[in-house]
Amino acid sequence: MPDAPGYADPHAVAAGDLPRLSLPYADGLITIARVRRTPDAPVCRVPPGDPAHGQRATLVDFVAADAAQAARTAVGLVRLAELTAVAVHARYAPSDTAALAVCLAGRLHDARARRGLTGHVVVADHRPELPAMGAPAEGAGGGDAADLVRVPHILAVHHRAGEGARGPWGGPMGPAGVTDRVVWEIMSPDQHRAWLGGRPGPPVGVLEECLGGLLTLAGLVRSGCTQVPSHAEVLGVLRGGPLTTEAVYRHPGLLLTVAAALGNREE
């Protein structure tokens, strides 16, 4: 997967660098596996002495899955098959949204690995339906899928003039050629706690209700608009960086209040 603007930030993506996917019109899972090319590798093997020896290749495949079970199936599959990541795909999701999910999955895997967190990443190119609390987690290896958590990540998609059609949760085109989009991540409770680093974070439902306002806020912060409510406070907590879901978890009171105000202003 190619690097994008601001590689240190996994939430900044160049539209031109998104993978080109050919997916069937079906619900399923996009599997992502990084393999090292060696003479004895099971796939992508190379002959001895080949310059590609030791290099990594990214393999992407599609497996049909029942939509109602896709989240828990993905959580089990990413562990049992030792995959880099799995993206849950809905048949109605646009191809560019699926490509965003695949791109973010690999970046989150790398970012978590640098922090010493588990690399079992599961994302979705739509708002995923999760199994009910307390439901049995078949095939999930230990039952973590019984109470999954979904987290919306805000991505800034950089594009050239004419690129970047809107998609689900897509914001308006910005003056700098940036569209703010949302890709969902699916975590086990243990993963979610480790990712938060002990912070409680806002209720998931409240965060989801404010997504429209958060996307608007992300664009306003990037453009330097001074009409943002509590402008100085917002810039202060973001410390010159973009608005991300992690920032919202760190400062939920301020950022969700501002996002709610922006969302109400647009209605």
For the stretch 220-235, pLDDT in tens is 998 888 888 899 999 9
- What DSSP state is assigned to residue 63? E
C-alpha span between 159 and 4 (Å, rounded): 11
C-alpha span between 110 and 104 (Å, rounded): 10
Cβ neighbours of residue 110 under 8 Å, at least 6 residues apart?
10
How many Cβ atoms from other residues are within 10 Å of residue 19's Cβ?
Answer: 16
Instruction: Give the length of the chain.
Output: 267
**pLDDT tens per residue, range 111-130:** 888 888 877 899 999 999 88
C-alpha span between 202 and 224 (Å, rounded): 26
- Our CA angle for 114, 80, 103, nearest 5°, is 45
pLDDT of the residue at 122: 97
Strands 12-14 and 28-36: unpaired
C-alpha span between 88 and 52 (Å, rounded): 31
Q: What is the chain's mean pLDDT, rounded?
A: 80
Tokens encoding 153: 């990540």
Q: Kindly provide the b/e burial profile for residues 62-78, where b requires at least 16 CB atoms within 10 angstroms of the residue's own CB.
A: bbebebebbbbbbbbbb
**Do the Cβ atoms of 76 and 141 come closer than 8 Å?**
yes
- DSSP conformation letters of 159-175: --TT-----TT--PPPT
User: pLDDT band at 87, cuts 50/70/90?
Assistant: very high
- What DSSP state is assigned to residue 143? S
**Do the Cβ atoms of 185 and 153 come closer than 8 Å?**
yes
Q: Number of C-alpha atoms within 13 angstroms, CB side, residue 82?
A: 2
- Residue found by looking up tokens 């099971």 in the block: 42
End-to-end, the C-alpha distance of the chain in Å comes to 38
Task: Say yes or no to pLDDT of 79 above 60.
Answer: yes
**pLDDT tens per residue, range 31-73:** 998 765 455 544 444 466 655 555 566 788 999 999 999 999 9
Based on C-alpha coordinates, what's the Rg of the chain? 19
Q: Which residue, 135, 120, 262, is CA-closest to 186?
A: 120
Tokens encoding 10: 């996994």
How many Cβ atoms from other residues are within 10 Å of residue 208's Cβ?
Answer: 16
pLDDT of the residue at 42: 45
Alpha helices in the chain (DSSP H): 70-80, 95-114, 189-196, 204-209, 211-223, 231-238, 245-250, 252-266
